[in-house]
Amino acid sequence: MVVEPVDFYGMSPEDILKYLPRKNCGGCGKSRCEEFAGSLSKGESEIKECPEIGLEMKRSLEGGLSIRLEVHEADFTMSTVSEQLIPVNDPTPDSPVLVTGNSNVTLYVLRLIFERAPNVSAWIIPTDTKGFTIDHVMSMGVMTPMTVMNAISTSGIVSRVNSKIMIIPGLCEGLERKIETITKWKVIVGPKSGFELPAYLTQMAEEN
């Protein structure tokens, strides 16, 4: 897989800490959960070392934390995916809907993330971002309420889900109100790091 030079936005210690029990029990060998989160972000610890975390959250965090990506060569072709709707891990009508760009790099990474977290399902809708990855779409102005509307309309997602709720990348924060106005869907701003998505969706399901 050849990728363009992008920022993959790995999970920071602050990102990871949101999903830890925060009991500061010391069972992981660290004195505080903050220290454990920092060690996890550097790949120096494994989430299974936490004795207090629930099984589903543990599996969800393992997926994102197990992936270390490096850019070796640029993809100047700005290649895109052809799919209009991508089901991951056998989604149901109640599975979340994720809206993202149509960069082949973006979808390659997302597929890899969910492959490592098979306990989390979702519907992914690529929008026409001209092959730009999510870290570039806002500055380039290629993800708009209209491109999202077109993607929702052509994907056929309405007949597959029970509610009109979509999650957009955290890096696209600021578009949510305009997207809601034009699509009539509720828009939730998700995490900036795609690697955080399985844990984020698991926590969302637990809270609901």
The pLDDT confidence band at residue 9, using thresholds 50, 70 and 90, is: confident
Q: In whole angstroms, give the CA distance from residue 205 to residue 129.
A: 29
- Mean pLDDT of all residues belonging to the chain: 91
pLDDT digits (tens, 9 = 90+) for 68-105: 775 544 556 688 999 999 999 999 999 999 999 999 98
Determine the pLDDT at residue 7.
54
CATH number of 13-53: 1.10.15.40
Of the two residues 65 and 73, the one the predictor is more confident about is: 65
Is the pTM value of this prediction over 0.75?
Answer: yes
pLDDT digits (tens, 9 = 90+) for 143-169: 999 999 999 999 999 999 999 999 999
| SS3 labels along the chain | CCCCCCCCCCCCHHHHHCCCCCCCCCCCCCCCHHHHHHHHHCCCCCHHHCCCCCHHHHHHHHHHHCCCCCCCCCCCCCCECCCCCEEECCCCCCCCEEEEECEHHHHHHHHHHHHCCCCCCEEEEEECCCCCCHHHHHHHCCCCHHHHHHHHHHHCHHHCCCCCEEEECHHHCCCHHHHHHHHCCEEEECCCCHHHHHHHHHHHHHHC
Pick the CATH number of 86-198 from 2.40.40.20, 3.40.50.920, 3.40.50.11600, 3.40.1190.10: 3.40.50.11600
Ranges of each domain in the chain? 13-53, 86-198
